[in-house]
Amino acid sequence: MSDMVTVGSYLDPMDVQFARLHLEEHGIRAAVVETSNFDPTLIGVSGGIRLQVAEKDELQARTLLRALANERTEIDPDADAGEVRCPRCELAYCFFEPPSLRGVAPGATELGVFVAAILRFGPKRWTCHKCGHRWDDPNEGPKRPTVLKPGDPRPVFRLKRSAPGMGAFMGFMVGAGFVLASGFAPILVLPAAALLGYLIGNSLNRDVCSEPSCRKQLPAHAETCEGCGGFVAGEIRRAAEHFAEAAEARREIVRMRKARKTARRKRAEASGG
């Protein structure tokens, strides 16, 4: 136990457990070292929750954790060119298949589409299992995902979340307590309490960062995420929209960088000649 080294530090207890399990699946014993205080706002100050392994496993652990991080952010700049990528979200979770539930689920709004997906009825098309996009030409997507440079803002989104179901349940429980204590007729109290809870839950939006490996709560008006440092580029309603929106934002950032570069070059040419 004397030769333990730190191979990662994490802000989110879920992330560190995920990483520990990943190492143990590959036969590496890992220990989670919690900071001494329990104030979640101070974890970052004291270096996060650390993941440690025996010194002899350090190199393999770091390699595994790096691969895991790439997998979780879904963007691997060294990914093989040649696989089919989705033109919309740029990820390589693409299959040539008839309408399928996995393909349409994130965007299914029409009953006809939904029924076709259940029956798997319709022509085979390329289908993205991340964002639900369907298209025909396998070469339409990019060969590689658009990758940002260090220093570029990394786009994340405000994932709007409300909890009407939880609210209704809490309302029901409070109502039940009230019925037991007061002797009022349940039929008068419970539906009203559940409805009130539903409305309260529906109005309380617990917005979180849309980055799948982050999901830290975002305060109202926050412009950056405290959890992952991402730049809040907009709002989404469903977690699956993150991939397509993030790809669009990355393409926009790269377009703007190129436009700035061209403008600078033209200015230099104009003043030089």
228 binds Zn ion (CB under 5 A): yes
Distance CA 254, CA 260 (A): 10
Between 48 and 230, name the residue whose CB sits nearer to Zn ion. 230
Distance CA 223, CA 208 (A): 12
Token readout for 184 is 């009022």
Token readout for 34 is 């919690």
| Axis crossing angle, helix 13-25 with helix 58-73, rounded to the nearest 10 | 120
Binds Zn ion (CB under 5 A): choice among 30, 65, 86, 240: 86
Between 99 and 227, name the residue whose CB sits nearer to Zn ion. 227
C-alpha distances in Å from residue 219, one per residue of 4, 155, 207, 214, 230: 37, 17, 7, 14, 14
Find the shortest distance in angstroms from Cβ 54 to Zn ion: 31
88 binds Zn ion (CB under 5 A): yes
129 binds Zn ion (CB under 5 A): no
CA 146 to chain centre: 17
Between 113 and 176, name the residue whose CB sits nearer to Zn ion. 113
Find the shortest distance in angstroms from Cβ 75 to Zn ion: 13
Between 43 and 214, name the residue whose CB sits nearer to Zn ion. 214
Binds Zn ion (CB under 5 A): choice among 20, 85, 133, 242: 133
Which residues form the interface with Zn ion (CB under 5 A)? 86, 88-89, 128, 130-131, 133, 209, 211, 214, 225, 227-228, 230
